[in-house]
């Protein structure tokens, strides 16, 4: 499968601009039948409401997300 990880910026409970509010990585290829660690690091320039994304390119196969973790460098403090 070919995955892209990232986030979408939410405004009023929706993505306001589909061209600029989806921020994601280059594709990562993972092998079916094997465990793979996929990471994505990003920095928000100000407080924002976001939705985390894991996108699968059409026709590239299936994948299972077994565990996800979101950490901050400052404990989530502003």
**19-49 confidence digits (pLDDT tens):** 999 999 999 999 888 899 999 999 888 889 9
- Name the burial class of residue 31, with classes exposed (0-12), middle (13-18) and buried (19+) by CB atoms within 10 angstroms of its CB: exposed
**78 pLDDT tier (thresholds 50, 70, 90):** low
The pLDDT, as a whole number, for residue 51 is 94
| pLDDT exceeds cutoff 80 at 75 | no
């Amino acid at each position: 499968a070919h995955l892209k990880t990232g986030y979408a910026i939410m405004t009023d409970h929706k993505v306001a601009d589909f061209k600029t509010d989806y921020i994601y990585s280059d594709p990562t290829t993972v092998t079916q039948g094997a465990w793979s660690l996929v990471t994505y690091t990003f920095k928000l320039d100000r407080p924002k409401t976001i939705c985390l994304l894991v996108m699968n390119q059409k026709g590239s196969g299936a994948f299972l997300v077994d565990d996800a973790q979101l950490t901050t460098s400052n404990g989530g403090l502003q």
